[in-house]
Amino acid sequence: MNGHQHGFGPGAASERLGRFAARGPFGPMSFLQGVGQMATQRARRGDVRLGILRLLSEQPMHGYQIIGELSERSGGVWKPSAGSIYPALQLLADEGLVAAEDVGGKRVFRLTDAGSAAVEQGAAEAAPWEDASQQRPGAAGYHEGLAKLMRAVVLVGRTGSPEQVKAGLDVLNDARKRLYAILAED
């Protein structure tokens, strides 16, 4: 028997987490996934494309740089996934708007002349990260903080000793009261 069969070894933790998450639509992990979705705004369909082109008009970048820049420039409101950035980069390459080259072991993308022309054509439009950050001013940090808090809440609840769980519950009750007090202020 290998260690994995006893709940140890590579993949065992993710397997246990998968079983935990699969407890139903209202389990703690599905709640966390919902919080994570609240923390990020979905971009309109053309935003990923326009965002990539705008960033590459400033300098060549690799995919994860693009993801980080879009998140940073939107104040954390828009956090595109690799699953949306890389296919968009491939489509832009297929259209001849970007070209890729390997630099230091990373695939770096740059605008072609046609890509530069496309950026100039859309220059009057607001940058998509500006649209995202204006959707709800101040909410980006709030939702990100909520997502981080919920991860800590679940971790204390799942792994804390009875004393730690009680202390965590005291913190949650105090936080709830303080949040309502904020809303009650003029």
The reported pLDDT for the residue numbered 87 is: 93
State pLDDT tens for residues 53-64: 999 999 999 999
96 alpha carbon, distance to own chain's centre:
28
Plot region of 106 (φ>0 → left; ψ -120 to 50 → alpha; else → beta): beta
Ordered by where they begin, the domains of the chain are 45-135 (1.10.10.10)
Three-state SS letters, 115-160: HHHHHHHCCCCCCHHHHHHHCCCCHHHHHHHHHHHHHHHHHHHHHC
Tokens coding 80: 């595109």
Tokens coding 103: 């630099």
Cα dihedral 58, 62, 68, 73 in deg (nearest 10): 10
State pLDDT tens for residues 112-146: 999 999 888 877 777 776 655 455 555 556 767 77
Whether residue 164 is predicted with pLDDT greater than 80 in this model: the reply is yes
pTM for this structure? Answer: 0.50
